[in-house]
Structure 1
Amino acid sequence: MFRGTSAITLDSKNRITIPTKYREELFADCQGKMVCTVDIQHPCLLLYPLPEWEEIELKLCNLSSMNPQERLLQQVILGNASDCEMDKNGRLLINGPLRQHASLEKNVMLVGQLKKFEIWHDTAWQSQMLQGISKIQSGEIELTERLLDLSL
């Protein structure tokens, strides 16, 4: 399980380095094989260990290509999916279209989301967090029954 936020950098060869604390698990679970795609709701990327991605692919495969909304979702998510393999130093190459979607430059945030990571431009992540906290504190976010049952 991946949690927490790590400030990392995009190097001159357009690679990110996965923090050491995650590498052993990733090499054990998926031999460092991962898939990166766009997030359809935010200007960030989603990075999945291959076994997790394969579950997503099965769900996408079950959508109808005859339904325009479902086909669009398949096109965007699958069309942007890129296989990434971590090298022995924990580095992953992020391709141009993916970097462009998330406006990635040198300073990047890797955000653990239990079964996947999000990859954000650092200032976009900070803005997302400030907006999210503000919405929660102001009551703008409606607390559903599921959220009310969540005890932290």
Structure 2
Amino acid sequence: MLRLRGNAPATVDDKGRLKLPATFKADLEAFAVGEGRGGMRHYLTSLDGKGARLYPMPVWEDIEARLAAVPGTNPAKRRFLEVTAYYGSEVEPDAQGRFVIPPILREAAQLTGEVAILGQMDHLAIWNRAGFEQRLAADPLTTEDLAALADLGI
């Protein structure tokens, strides 16, 4: 099972390429090889245009399989598919572990220069570093959040 965790600062270069930090790259490669998954294809998208999400293709395909069971008339499904398709594209790292962030997503999420890459268990979240630090300060983890997690057994 994939368990991406922690934070790794990185930089998006002038050509929009992001190099996966070594620890995340190793975890994703091990996941791709494990259980015959093969390949390093990923789905790069966003739910809101403020940050990016990088899913290993098998994880994204599991999401698609669950969505396939939802009626096409469901408005939440339609909105989810529209936004993830608009910002989304299949990506595969080059030999140096870099992948190109598409211009639409790069501009919307301001993914230039310094970024923070956060392990989110089954995917990576990619944020403009300064913007993410501002968000952390403005919307911190609260005692109510911790109580809600405790109710879930965490």
TM-score using structure 1 length: 0.84
Q: CA deviation at 1:80?
A: 2.6
* Letter matched to residue 23 of structure 1: K
Structure 1 pair 69/150, CA: closer, same or farther in 2 (3 Å)? Answer: closer
SS at match of 2:81: helix
Aligned positions, number: 146
Structure 1 unaligned regions, length at least 5: none
Sequence identity (%): 26
Distance 2:121 2:139 in 1: 19
Q: 1:43 aligns with which of 50, 58, 68?
A: 50
Q: CA deviation at 1:84?
A: 0.7
Distance 1:150 1:75 in 2: 34
Higher strand content, 1 or 2: 1
Structure 1 pair 147/43, CA: closer, same or farther in 2 (3 Å)? Answer: farther
Q: CA deviation at 1:142?
A: 7.5
Q: Once structures 1 and 2 are overlaid, which stretch shifts more, 11-20 or 42-51?
A: 42-51
Distance 1:113 1:24 in 2: 15
Q: 2:64 aligns with which of 31, 36, 57?
A: 57
Contact preservation (8 Å) 2:47, 2:83: no
Q: CA deviation at 1:72?
A: 1.7
Distance 2:123 2:69 in 1: 21
- C-alpha distance after superposition, 1:18-46 (max 9, x if no partner): 01112233223332211101123x71111
Q: CA RMSD, aligned part only? A: 2.1
TM-score using structure 2 length: 0.83
Q: 2:40 aligns with which of 32, 35, 44?
A: 32
Q: CA deviation at 1:70?
A: 2.4
Which segments of structure 1 move beyond 6 Å, counting only runs of 4 or more? Answer: none
Q: How does 1:66-85 map to 2 (within 5 A)?
A: 66-85=73-92
